[in-house]
Amino acid sequence: MCRYRRIKILPFALYMIIFLTACVGNETPTSTIITTKTRRPTITSTPFPTSWPTSTSTLVPTQSCMTNEQYSKLFILHNEVFSYARVDEEILDEALSNNYPEWSSFRQKLEWREEPVSAGIIFDDASFAESFQLNPAVTLVTVGLHLDWKLPTDSDLFSIARSAGEKLDGLYWDYAFDDVDDQTQIKTEYPEVANAATYSIYAFFEYDQAILEDWCETYVKLFDESPLYLPNYDKDK
């Protein structure tokens, strides 16, 4: 009887040992669990510059509107100020009102505008087209000097401003692409010019150096900002 009992108990004990061993083997202790997270790649973003970089490293603006400090070349207008800076129409109107009061009351009806608009709006609209874009302050100063600050007799200021903008833009790219087109030798013929923006004003006024300084000083007078520098450019550095 005892032998039988031992025979019956032994398989049960073995069964329990095997069962418990299997359970312990399959259980993963919570204290030893290691969670591996997929690490997101670090995204490095380029910080937005506080000032625009100069387009040509050789251009070092000086107090003079006429020359480059290092190479004594004609330099009255930065390329980025010419193309990408944009003076708001309200500032254009304010500049005209403060310096040429007769322009403040000028109005012209444009077909895409519901009401007659001021000169500031006209210069802004005229400086942006499908084929080109231009800082309207550049258009304003150029047209003003071209008209000797007299309002057009036919009151069509927009057509004059648009024509001037198209011409300035064309002259700018003539100079900029001079190295590409072997048929054009602008940089060789006018080695005294420092950059495309200055050349556009220079050629517009038929290569009259005297008017270049007048143009630059007028820009400073109207907008209290030098066209030789980019917006937010630190002149002390």
- Whether 53 is in a domain gets the answer no
133 inside domain: yes
pTM of the model: 0.70
| pLDDT tens-place values along the chain, 237 residues long | 433 333 333 444 444 444 444 444 444 443 322 222 223 222 222 232 333 333 333 444 445 676 665 568 899 999 999 998 889 999 999 999 999 999 999 999 999 898 999 999 999 999 998 899 999 999 999 999 999 999 999 999 999 999 999 999 999 999 999 877 566 689 989 999 999 999 999 999 999 998 999 999 999 999 998 898 876 543 443
Does residue 46 sit within a domain? no
Residue 23 within any structural domain of the chain = no
CA distances, 107 to each of 21, 36, 90, 157 (Å) = 97, 70, 14, 9
Domain count, the chain: 1
The answer to the question of residue 65 being in a domain is no
DSSP, res 102? G
Q: Is residue 61 part of a domain?
A: no
Domain assignment present for residue 71? The answer is: no
- Residue 18 in domain: no
Q: Which residue range forms the structural domain that includes residue 207?
A: 79-223
